[in-house]
Structure 1
Amino acid sequence: MPGRLQNKVALITGAGSGIGLESSLLFASEGANVLLVDVALTGAQKGLGLIQERYPNVKADVFQADVGKEHDVRAAVDKAVQVFGRLDIMFNNAGIMHPEDDNALNTEERIWDLTMQINLKGVWWGCKYAILAMRQNKRDDQLGLHEGGSIINTASFVAIRGAATPQLAYTASKGAVLAMSRELAMVHAKEGIRVNALCPGPLKTPLLMDFLDTPEKRDRRLVHLPMGRFGEAVELAKAALFLASDDSSYVTGSDFIVDGGLSAAYVTALGEPKLPPPTSLI
C-alpha cells in the first residue's frame, strides 16, 4: 500500500535530532525522498543510515547547512531539487534556545540577534527558496504528485501563551514565525502552496532539556501540563506528517498546536499520564 508521502520530496532542517530526526524517519517510512539538513552532520548521517537500512525503496541524502546563512539555505533547496528533481515539502524545523536568553532586562543584544538570525531569518529564507522551487512543480498523476507544495514552520506554544521561564528572544522569534506563516499562507494559497505553523508544547528533546537543566525548572513547566508529562518528538513528527501529506489539503495558515492541552488549560492536573508516551521510531 503506498505511503501518504509516496514519491514526494521533503527537505527537513534540524534533521540531526529531536523533531527533525523523527520526522525524517517517519516521512521516509511513508514513501518520501528526504534531504536531511543540519549544521552538524553526525545526527543527520545517523538518520540517513537508518533510512537506508529500513526503507531501501526511498532515496535520502544529507546536507550540511547553517540556516542562519542565506547562502546555505538556498544551497540546501538547490541540492534537494538537484538530487530528487523537485521539492514538495519544506519543514523549517531548525532553531535554537540560547541558555543566556532571559528577560528584557538581562538578555544581551548579541543573544537576541543570534536567535532572530536562526529562528526567524532562517525560516524566512527557507520559505523564500522553497516557494521558488515549488512554483516549478508539475502535476504528475501517474506518481500522484501535484503542483505547489507544503511548507511547515516550527513555531511554539510560547508564540500563543508565553513561557513560564524567561526566554524573551526565543518567544519573540516564534511569535514572528507564527505571523509570517499566516501571511505567506494567504499570499501563496492560490498557487497550491500551503504554509502552516507547527506549535509544539514542551518536549523531551535536547533543545528543551538542556534549557530546563534543574528539577525546579522542569517542575515549573510540568505543573502547567494537563497530561503531566513532556511530549515526545515522535508525536510532533506525526503532526508534521499530517501537514505534509494530502490529508491536510484544505489546511493552510493554521496554528497547529500540539501541546498536551497546555494552551487550553486554566487549572491543570498533576500526576503521571494514564497512557505511556508513544514509541520512538529511532
Structure 2
Amino acid sequence: TDTTSEEDVKGAIQAVVDAWGKVDIVVNNAGIGGPQYSWEQVIAVNETGVYYGCLHSLIQMIKQGEGGAIVNLSSMMGISGTTTPVGPGGVGYAYHASKHAVIGLTRQFGLDGAPHNIRVNALCPGWIETPLLAPLKMSEELTKWMIEGAPMGRLGSADEIARAALFLASDDASFVTATHLVIDGGWTAR
C-alpha cells in the first residue's frame, strides 16, 4: 500500500473489513528519513500517510461503533531537536518536522476518537536497530554518539517497540489516548 495515496489507504482499510468484517487496531508505521529523500517525500510518507491512515481508520471505526485503537509511529525527534556529529540538519529537518506533526495529529485524532471509545496514541522511539537506522550508522563516531547519548547505554530493539505498540493497542491501555509514549533509553530526559 502506498500510504501517500489516499485511495490506497482507503482500499487497504476496506480490504481488512472485507477479510475480517471490521477494523479494530491500526498501526501507522510507514516512515522514511535521511539525506537521500527530499522534503516532499519525507512529509508525504511520514505526515500525510499518517493523516490518511488515522482519518480513514477513524471513519471506519466510528461507523462500526465498537471502539478501537490507532497507534502512530513518531520518534524521539518528534519531541526534541537533535544536533549530530554530521553537522546542520542532522538526520534531516523534514524528518523532525514530520515526526512533530505525527504527535499533533495523534492528539487531534485522539480527541476526535475519544467519544467513540477510539484511542489514538503515538510511540516515540529513540535510536532503534532497524533498516531505517542503518544509513546513519555510517561511522564509528556517529554510532558511538547514538549509544552514549542514551543513559541506558545501548540502542533499542524492534521487539521493544513492538511490545509498546501492543500495549497501546490492548485493553491494558483503555484509558490512554491523545498522547505519546517515549521509548528512547532516556535520551530525551537528558
CA RMSD of aligned residues (A): 1.2
**Residue 125 (structure 1) aligns with:** 52
Structure 1 Cα separation of the partners of residues 34 and 17 of structure 2: 32
Structure 1 Cα separation of the partners of residues 14 and 47 of structure 2: 21
Structure 2 Cα separation of the partners of residues 164 and 236 of structure 1: 24
Alpha-carbon distance, 1:134 to partner: 0.7
Max radius of gyration: which structure?
1
**Residue 187 (structure 1) aligns with:** 112
Aligned length: 184
Check whether the contact 1:181–1:195 (CA below 8 A) recurs between aligned residues. yes
- SS in structure 1 at match of 2:70: strand
**Residue 116 (structure 1) aligns with:** 43
Check whether the contact 1:99–1:211 (CA below 8 A) recurs between aligned residues. no
Check whether the contact 1:155–1:200 (CA below 8 A) recurs between aligned residues. yes
Q: Which one-letter code corresponds to 1:81 in the other structure?
A: V
Deviations 1:213-259 (A, max 9, x none): 22122122222111111000000000000000000000001111111
Alpha-carbon distance, 1:188 to partner: 1.9
**Residue 234 (structure 1) aligns with:** 159
Check whether the contact 2:75–2:126 (CA below 8 A) recurs between aligned residues. yes
Check whether the contact 1:97–1:211 (CA below 8 A) recurs between aligned residues. no
Runs of 4+ in 1 over 6 A off after TM superposition: none
Give the TM-score normalised by structure 1. Answer: 0.63
Query: Which of 64, 68, 71 matches 1:152?
Result: 71
CA gap of 1:98–1:71, structure 2 versus 1, over 3 A, is farther
Alpha-carbon distance, 1:100 to partner: 3.3
Q: Following superposition of structure 1 onto structure 2, how do residues 6-155 of structure 1 map, counting pairs within 5 Å?
A: 65-100=1-36, 111-138=38-65, 147-155=66-74
Q: Indicate the structure whose relative CO is greater, using CA pairs within 8 Å and at least 6 residues apart.
A: 2
Q: Which one-letter code corresponds to 2:137 in the other structure?
A: L
Structure 1 Cα separation of the partners of residues 83 and 170 of structure 2: 33
In the alignment, structure 1 residue 168 sits paired with structure 2 residue 93: yes
What is the aligned-residue identity percentage? 42
